[in-house]
Structure formats: C-alpha cells, structure tokens
Amino acid sequence: MLQSKTVLQVKTPIKKTGGKPKTKPKLKTVAKLKKEADAWWSKATRYRFAYKKDGEYWADCITCGTPAPIKKLQCGHFMSRQYNSTRFLEQNTSPQCYGCNVMQQGKQYEFGIALDELYGAGTAKEMHRLAKIPHQFTREELKQIILDARTEVNFYES
C-alpha cells in the first residue's frame, strides 16, 4: 500500500462542492420526544377535567380542590414522572395547582385518596404497582402518545 503515497501527490486539489453536506434528517431523540409528549399530555389532561366558565376552561386541583383556569394549572402525577410505566396513564395524572404539585411535593397521600374516589378503590395501589414495572419508551410509542394527546387538545380548542 506504499503506492498510495503517489496518489496523494496529485497537484489538483479536490474541489469542495460548497453548501452543506448531505446528511439524513436528524431523528428526534427519545428524550426530546418524551419532553414533547409531557407537554401535550399535560395539556390534554387539564382539558379532560375542565369545565367552561366565563368562556374559559377551568379545572379543580385534585388535591386541594381550588378551581383555576387550566392554563394556570399543572399536570400532577400521583406516581412521579420518573416512572415511565405510569407517566402517561390517565389514572395517574390530574390537574393540580402549583402549590400542591411543587410547593407540597404533589401531596401524594391526598392524591391517592382522590384517585380511589374517582376511579374506584384500589386505584392508587394499582398505580403504585404499575409504576415499579420498568419500561423504556420507543420513539414510535412516544410519537403515538403525542399524536393522541394533540388530537384530544385539538378537539377542545376547535
């Protein structure tokens, strides 16, 4: 392979073609899709519990009952968002005020009681069990969650 040296002595430099090199379009990472899914899921969840008041959507905080326009509410998780298995489950998420969700760490005990009242006894326990099952999201799965949540949001906003 020593002959290759002569090849490198070619006088004419290789022309640069200019412009950006052609690469495949970048696929969104799982982390990015998860973030997007969180945002759409949050919006859909708040609408799901909402009622109209003075031409605006309102909902009640699941743990303290305080009513507020949904744009001022957050999407609280009974089992923390760190658990993928329950991250996008209707029975694990609900509108919650900033005070309860952030300042009082989600008020998990009250959240659990509210879930059992809403969906039947044992729901909180079931969420707790499901949350502990490890789950890795695929990109396809997250894209489906985004699509479904967006469709739901569009229904309320149209």
Q: CB of 63: closest distance to Zn ion in angstroms?
A: 5
102 binds Zn ion (CB under 5 A): no
Kindly give the residue spans of alpha helices, DSSP state H, lying in the chain: 4-8, 30-48, 84-87, 98, 108-119, 123-131, 139-157
* Region of 33-41, 78-86, 97-105, 145-153 interacting with Zn ion (CB under 5 A): 97-105
61 binds Zn ion (CB under 5 A): yes
> Could you tell me the CA-to-CA distances from 112 to 53, 96, 124 in Å, in that order?
27, 13, 5
* Region of 1-9, 11-19, 37-45, 93-101 interacting with Zn ion (CB under 5 A): 93-101
97 binds Zn ion (CB under 5 A): yes
* Cβ atoms within 10 Å, residue 77: 27
100 binds Zn ion (CB under 5 A): yes
Order of strands, sheet of 67-69, starting from the edge strand that comes earlier in the sequence? 51-53, 56-60, 67-69
114 binds Zn ion (CB under 5 A): no
75 binds Zn ion (CB under 5 A): no
Residue with tokens 């009250």: 110
Q: Which of 39, 64, 102, 103: binder of Zn ion (CB under 5 A)?
A: 64
* Cβ atoms within 10 Å, residue 50: 18
73 binds Zn ion (CB under 5 A): no
Point out which residues bind Zn ion (CB under 5 A). 61, 64, 97, 100
